[in-house]
């Protein structure tokens, strides 16, 4: 996606700059109210410079180093006492970083206070936030596996259907498949997913549940309804201004998880079907080296794909996708009936 380390590095840089600026403002305040502290800071600076000069000359005896360190520590303690005597916290003039584990560098500090190569938890959190911002997922606060409610599915096997299990049993099976997909996302042999079933049975919901969990793992995700996706591809490939670069098209190709919702609702076009096959082939080839998974969600039965697209598209999907059937009552209506007590 467009989010990369350079963007995150700028964010961490701004966090550090803001923290230092806030400290400097507090320092100016203290210098006005407690002038003696300004004099102490000047003494600390002069001692530090003297220590550095002696060290450069290599004329610094061990006892001299201890002397400098002792004097500086005495001045620091005196400054802390002055702050507390005047009603300020002892650490009032220290830089208050957003994250003390990395001092807003994005990488955990080692024993000497130097950033290591280990990403900090705040780095991963910021990465997830950035990825969520560009994933096209709308946060409604009610999407996630924790909101999955099996009671929205009937526990009775309906007569006259091709299924020998209840909608609830099948939905629970599909949920487990979804969790397996999340847990094995980095495994390039893990198949893609194809959600199918009538309107309102939870296909989009479960797709987005997967997306949220994959984002938490620090991977890129892009969710697009099929009509919008094909429009983006068309604009990018056939736009008249060759100087315009549609980055979203590159995201469609390369995002680690692409979710195409409502496949089959786009306007019919032979060119679009060719683009779909090209897209699936490209992502399939990329997935051999690193995660490049695709989730398709549609009302179309897998065996009917050739009627709308082509046998090659159907073959690609049947060969590389786990087919996840969902069926039952329209959950939107079920929720409404439960709310109204019908």
In sequence order, what DSSP letters do the residues of 2-30 get, joined into one string? ---HHHHHHHHHHHHHHHHHHHHHHHHHH
The span from the CA of 107 to the CA of 117, in Å, is 6
pLDDT score, position 60: 59
Domains of the chain: 135-340 (3.40.50.300)
Q: What is the per-residue pLDDT across 8-35, written as a single tens digit (0 to 9) for each?
A: 888 899 999 999 999 999 999 999 999 9
The span from the CA of 331 to the CA of 150, in Å, is 11
- Outline where 166-288 has alpha helix (H): 167-183, 203-216, 226-238, 247-254, 270-286
Considering only CA atoms, which of 181, 178, 138, 173 is closest in space to residue 153? 173
Considering only CA atoms, which of 8, 15, 14 is closest in space to residue 100? 15
Sign of CA dihedral 227, 230, 236, 241: negative
Contact 317, 280 (CB under 8 A): yes
The span from the CA of 65 to the CA of 51, in Å, is 7
Q: What is the per-residue pLDDT across 293-327, written as a single tens digit (0 to 9) for each?
A: 999 999 998 888 888 888 888 888 998 899 999 99
pLDDT score, position 283: 94
Contact 217, 185 (CB under 8 A): yes
- The residue written with tokens 């009671």 in the block is 151
Residue ranges in the chain whose pLDDT is less than 70: 1-5, 54-65, 128, 132-134, 138-140, 159-161, 239-247, 339-342
pLDDT score, position 2: 46
**Angstrom distances, CA of residue 156 to CA of 161, 171, 338:** 12, 13, 18
The span from the CA of 172 to the CA of 324, in Å, is 11
The span from the CA of 98 to the CA of 104, in Å, is 6
pLDDT score, position 266: 87
Note the pTM of the prediction, 2 decimals: 0.68
The span from the CA of 195 to the CA of 179, in Å, is 14
Strand partners, 192: 321
pLDDT score, position 128: 67
């Amino acid at each position: 996606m467009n989010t990369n380390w350079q963007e995150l590095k700028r964010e961490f840089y701004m966090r550090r700059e803001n923290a230092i600026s806030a400290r400097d403002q507090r320092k100016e305040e203290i210098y006005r109210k407690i002038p003696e502290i300004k004099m102490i800071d000047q003494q600390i600076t002069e001692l530090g410079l003297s220590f550095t000069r002696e060290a450069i000359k290599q004329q610094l005896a061990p006892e001299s180093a201890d002397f400098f360190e002792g004097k500086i520590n005495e001045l620091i303690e005196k400054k802390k006492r002055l702050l507390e005597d005047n009603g300020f916290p002892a650490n009032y003039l220290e830089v208050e970083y957003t994250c003390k584990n990395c001092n807003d560098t994005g990488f955990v500090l080692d024993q000497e206070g130097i950033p290591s190569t280990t990403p900090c938890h705040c780095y991963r959190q910021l990465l997830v936030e950035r990825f969520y911002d560009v994933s096209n997922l709308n946060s409604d606060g009610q999407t996630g596996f924790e909101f999955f409610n099996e009671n929205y599915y009937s526990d009775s096997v309906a007569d006259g259907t091709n299924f020998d299990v209840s909608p609830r049993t099948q939905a629970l099976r599909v949920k487990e498949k979804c969790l397996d997909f999340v847990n094995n996302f980095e495994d390039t042999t893990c198949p893609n997913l194809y959600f199918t079933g009538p309107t309102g049975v939870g296909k989009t919901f479960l797709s987005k549940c997967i997306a949220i969990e994959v984002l938490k793992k620090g991977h890129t995700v892009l969710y697009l309804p099929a009509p919008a996706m094909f429009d983006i591809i068309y604009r990018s490939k056939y736009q008249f201004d060759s100087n315009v670069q549609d980055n979203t098209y590159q995201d469609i190709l390369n995002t680690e998880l692409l979710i195409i919702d409502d496949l089959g609702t786009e306007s019919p076009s032979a060119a679009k079907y060719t683009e779909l096959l090209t897209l699936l082939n490209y992502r399939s080839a990329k997935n051999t080296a690193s995660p490049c998974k695709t989730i398709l969600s549609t009302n179309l039965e897998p065996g009917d794909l050739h009627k709308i697209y082509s046998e090659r598209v159907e073959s690609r999907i049947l060969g590389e996708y786990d087919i996840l059937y969902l069926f039952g009552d329209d959950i939107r209506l079920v929720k409404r009936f439960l709310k109204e007590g019908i």
